[in-house]
Amino acid sequence: MGELDALLSPFSIKSMTVPNRAVLPPMGTGLANPDGTASDALLAYMKRQAQGGVGLLISEITAIATNGLVLKKQLAAWDDAFLPGLKQLAAVMHSGGGKAAMQLHHGGRESAYMLKKGMAIGPSPLPSLIYGHPPREMTLQDIDEIVAAYGSAAARARAAGFDAVEIHGAHGYLITQFLSAISNQRSDEFGGDFKSRARFLFEVVRSVRKSVGDDFPVLLRISAEEYIKNGYTVDDVLTILPDLIGSGVDIVHASVGTHGSPAGITSAPPEFDVGFNVWRAEKIKKAGPIPVIAVGRFNDPRPANDVIARGEADLVAFGRQALCDPDYLLKARQGRYEDIRRCIACNQGCIEREMFEGKSVRCAINPETGMEIVRPAGPAANPRKVWIVGSGPAGLTAAFEAKRLGHDVTVFEKEAQTGGNIRYACKAPHKEIYLDWIEFLAKQVKDAGVPIQMKTPVTEPMLTEDRPDVVIVATGGEKLVPRIDGMDQPHVFDAWQILGETVNPAKAILVVGGGLIGMETACFAAARGSDVTLIEQLPSSPVPKFTSHGYSLHKYLRQAGALLRFGCTLKSITPDGVVIECDGQEERLSSFDQVVIAVGMKPRNELKAFLAEKNIRHVVVGDALKVRRIMEATEEGARAAWEL
Ligand SMILES: Cc1cc2nc3c(=O)[nH]c(=O)nc-3n(C[C@H](O)[C@H](O)[C@H](O)COP(=O)(O)OP(=O)(O)OC[C@H]3O[C@@H](n4cnc5c(N)ncnc54)[C@H](O)[C@@H]3O)c2cc1C
Ligand SMILES: Cc1cc2nc3c(=O)[nH]c(=O)nc-3n(C[C@H](O)[C@H](O)[C@H](O)COP(=O)(O)O)c2cc1C
């Protein structure tokens, strides 16, 4: 038996046989044209995904009605006018030998744009948990129209050449809104107990089944558990399974969570293990019995194979992993596991970028995703001699891309290790995976044949002597040191000393600064048994709780009993304590063994002036340009290489 036999075995359901059991789950990209038709960017993205050879690809949320749109640029299927683009999409989805399904979607009260226009609809006029505005309560006529619209869109999917449809019944959109007692308080036959609240879903399934015929596979994506206070549970879902199967569902795609679920569990952060959600799929599979797709944090084909081999699920979806490395299955087939770029579940370039920044899909650690029509294939017409200064995310990404395009690349790193600030960013609980990623990237760069000169700061004489064609300045940021009395006390350290483990956190520590670095330092120390107090001069935390990472940090510190004080500024440090000012009042605190400074960073780009003066072509990228995040560092590093 090969180690991927189960995952690579075909699976048949009605008229569809998929060549293997790896699934691209539906992922909204924001790449469609503003009118909902398939754009060149969306087609190129999907083609790239198909080349990875997964067995089943499911389209992004595809709108079945105008009042259900949730993205500014969302694929749509509510009219025959969309058919030409949908045909092109189905064709590219088939281009790697896999099968194609279309996800049928209506956002209900979670459509920000429709809420703003007063056009959003929902089972009851109860405000969206995210946007705070209520939708219009659907009349029985609205229900009939929307049920019919699901059916018509499904027929279009079939006409366009898709092999199956998936009804999106998950994640807090219209169907979940009917299922959930939190959003459905109707007194007619569409409200009441769980089974009555599921009536809308049964009608949608029947409408879709009627449109596509008996032999066409109909998948249902459902949040197997709402995962929210007073939400429905997987046992509730089991009670409606016979009716779902009877209405025409062939496969259940068992996701989890809804809008407002804590910790962003639907696209779960690293604190959730690979496969954490399989048990819910398995419960549904056994109770049905019905084939299921399991999903949640898979970033390696081997555990997915084992889930299938053990009979816990029939297929496994790899969502963010496919954004991170669409070739993960190809590489696994070739036994090249060490070449798979594994998703770190940071959510920065994908779901949070779309939801909180209103931008199209990317990946923080794969600069190709969402940029398929921008990224040059190479080789470059004019290969150049390129020096890259710094081996953090920006420098290493630039190096990999520049080498791929055929340039003559050398990386210089002043420290003894590659990775820049990721060596510190990987230290908070659950972030070890960030270190795996940066070590992977450094190895890829070296394996591609790029020399990395360690312990070699680039200096002005070097540049004068050996003048490169282009310099990519990826020198990152340097720590800010506050100018206050007492900084020279022996018990004063900085975040890098604690996270870099050159200094052990003491029993009682005061962390000064509540940004990401301060919060992570506080978590790191708390995890090692310190009693942590953190002060931040801003009136509230600069680390937002609405991101999955921010949520995890706040939760961790709360559970560890850390004291977080906002609106407090450090004034001075004395041998036996500190003076702080909170809301205009001075306070003396004397119970700390250590004061740890984490007040942020500023760009380190001292080479820039010299390069300009000597007229050496250069580009400054990542934190060296402006201190930000991994997403910007990799994006700018890649772009610098593409534009050489
Ligand atoms: C504790 C901590 C936690 C963080 N957590 C996150 C997070 O969760 N998510 C996120 O997105 N971001 C996080 N960040 C920020 C993230 O690490 C940075 O945005 C990112 O590393 C920037 O990449 P970069 O390549 O621009 O710079 P850096 O990573 O700083 O790399 C710059 C490199 O250049 C080298 N260098 C400098 N000058 C020279 C020279 N003259 N010659 C040769 N080499 C030189 C440096 O030694 C360094 O290796 C965190 C940062 C810290 C400190
Ligand atoms: C960028 C992005 C967009 C998503 N859009 C959809 C969607 O359109 N429909 C859907 O059912 N789920 C959507 N999801 C959820 C994913 O399909 C998947 O269930 C989730 O990311 C968990 O799988 P993973 O851990 O393998 O990423 C989206 C997730 C991401 C990251």
Instruction: Look up 227 and say whether it is catalytic.
Output: no
> Which of 421, 418, 417, 426 is closest to 399 using CA atoms?
418
* Rounded Cα–Cα distance for residues 270 and 264 (Å): 11
Please give the Cα distance from 101 to 517 (Å, whole number).
43
**529 burial class (0-12, 13-18, 19+ CB within 10 angstroms)?**
exposed
Other CB atoms closer than 10 Å to residue 320's CB: what's the count?
24
Q: What's the mean pLDDT in 297-320?
A: 98
> At 1, is the pLDDT very low, low, confident or very high (cuts 50, 70, 90)?
low
**Do strands 508-512 and 601-603 pair parallel, antiparallel, or not at all (unpaired)?**
unpaired
pTM for the model: 0.97
Pocket mutation for ligand 1, best pick of 421, 499, 601, 627 (most atoms within 8 Å of C-beta): 421
Judge contact between 89 and 160, C-beta under 8 A. yes
Whose CA is closest to atom 30 on ligand 2? 351
Q: Is 415 in the pocket of ligand 1 (CB under 6 A)?
A: yes
Q: Which pLDDT tens digit goes with each residue over 253-294?
A: 999 999 889 889 999 999 999 999 999 999 999 999 999 999
The residues lining ligand 2, judged by C-beta closer than 6 Å to any ligand atom, are 25-28, 60-61, 103, 168, 170-171, 221, 255, 266-268, 295-298, 317-321, 350-351, 354, 361
Mutate-to-test residue for ligand 2 from 23, 27, 71, 353, highest number of ligand atoms within 8 A of CB: 27
Q: How far is the centre of ligand 1, averaged over its atoms, from the C-alpha of 98 (Å)?
A: 39
Q: Output the pLDDT for position 260.
A: 86
Q: Which of 267, 321, 353 to mutate to test the pocket of ligand 2 (most atoms within 8 A of CB)?
A: 267
| Site of tokens 């804590």 | 262
Closest C-alpha to ligand 1, atom 2? 425
Q: Is the CB of 313 under 6 A from ligand 1?
A: no
pLDDT of residue 263: 84
**Helix H or strand E encompassing 286:** helix 278-287
Question: Between 1.20.120.1750, 3.10.400.10, 3.90.1720.10, 3.20.20.70, what CATH number should domain 11-357 receive?
Answer: 3.20.20.70
Evaluated on CA atoms 249, 300, 355, 55, the torsion sign reads: negative
Please state which of the ranges 208-212, 475-479, 516-520, 545-549 shows the lowest mean pLDDT.
Answer: 545-549
The residue assigned the tokens 């949730």 is 70
Q: Which atom of ligand 1 is nearest to the CA of 418?
A: 49
Ligand of minimum distance to the alpha carbon of 355:
2
Q: How far apart are CA 153 and CA 328, in angstroms?
A: 32
From the list 173, 424, 434, 551, the catalytic residue is 173
Q: How far is the CA of 394 from the centre of ligand 2 (A)?
A: 27
- Three-class SS of residue 353? helix
Ligand at minimal distance from the CA of 270 is: 2
How far is the centre of ligand 1, averaged over its atoms, from the C-alpha of 600 (Å)?
12
Task: Give which of 531, 524, 533, 530 is closest to 556, Cα–Cα.
Answer: 524
Say how many Å lie between the CA of residue 366 and the centre of ligand 2. 17
Give the HSE-up count for residue 96: Cα atoms under 13 Å, Cβ half-sphere: 26
Nearest partner of 391 among 348, 444, 431, judged by Cα = 444
Range(s) of the chain covered by CATH 3.40.50.720: 385-479+603-642
Q: In which residue ranges of the chain is CATH 3.20.20.70 found?
A: 11-357
Ligand nearest to the CA of 513: 1
Q: What is the pLDDT of residue 373?
A: 98
517 lines ligand 1 (CB under 6 A): yes
Phi, psi of 249 (to 5 degrees): -80, 135
Measured over all CA atoms, what is the biggest interatomic distance in the chain, rounded to whole angstroms? 82
Alpha helices in 502-642 (DSSP H): 516-527, 548-559, 607-613, 630-642
Atom of ligand 2 nearest to the CA of 170: 11
Ligand 2 atom with the shortest distance to the CA of 25: 17
Ligand 2 mean position, distance from CA 322 (Å): 11
Q: Which ligand is nearest to the CA of 393?
A: 1
- pLDDT average, residue stretch 393-397: 98
Under the banding of pLDDT at 50, 70 and 90, the label for residue 354 is very high
E strand map for 405-469: 408-412, 452-453
Pocket test for ligand 1, best of 410, 437, 462, 475 (most atoms within 8 A of CB): 475
DSSP state of 39: P
371-400 CB burial, b ≥16 within 10 A, e <16: bbeebeebeeeebbebbbbbbbbbbbbbbb
CA 571 – CA 573 distance, rounded (Å): 7
CA angle 363, 113, 258 (to 5 degrees): 60
Instruction: Fold for 492-599, please state it.
Output: FAD/NAD(P)-binding domain (3.50.50)
Asked whether 413 lines ligand 1 (CB < 6 A), one says: yes
CA distance linking residue 236 with residue 225, whole number of Å: 8
Q: Which of the four pLDDT bands, split at 50, 70 and 90, describes residue 129?
A: confident
Q: Domain 385-479+603-642: which topology?
A: Rossmann fold (3.40.50)
Pocket flag, ligand 1, residue 414 (CB < 6 Å): yes
Residue nearest to atom 40 of ligand 1 (CA): 457
| CB 512 within 8 Å of CB 570 | yes
Residue closest by Cα to atom 50 of ligand 1 = 425
Measure 567 CA to ligand 1 centroid, in angstroms.
28
Taking residues 439-460, report their average pLDDT: 97
Q: 396 is written with which tokens?
A: 């290493």
Structure tokens at 43: 């087609």
Q: Are 326 and 51 in contact (CB under 8 A)?
A: yes
pLDDT at residue number 12: 98
The Cα 619–Cα 617 span in angstroms is: 7
Q: Is 423 helix (H, G, I), strand (E, B) or coil?
A: helix
List pLDDT tens digits, range 2-55.
899 999 999 999 999 999 999 999 999 999 999 999 999 999 999 999 999 999
Sheet (strand 408-412) strand order:
452-453, 408-412, 385-389, 470-473, 617-620
Residue with tokens 């970028």: 353
Ligand 1 site, residue 571, Cβ cutoff 6 A: no
Taking the CA of 364 as reference, the closest ligand is 1
Residue to probe by mutation, ligand 2, list 316, 351, 548, most atoms within 8 Å of CB: 351
Interior angle at CA 77, CA 73 and CA 80, nearest 5: 125
Tokens linked to 255:
């996701």
Query: Is residue 141 scored above 90 in pLDDT?
Result: yes
Q: How far apart are CA 489 and CA 594, in angstroms?
A: 10
User: What is the pLDDT, as a whole number, of residue 189?
Assistant: 98
Percentage of the residues of the chain whose pLDDT score is greater than 70: 100
Mapped to the 3 state alphabet, what secondary structure does 401-417 carry? HHHHCCCEEEEECCCCC
Do 76 and 143 form a contact (C-beta atoms < 8 A)?
Answer: no
Q: Is 623 near ligand 1, meaning CB less than 6 Å away?
A: yes
Nearest CA to ligand 1 atom 13: 629
Check pocket membership of 401 for ligand 1, CB cut-off 6 A: no
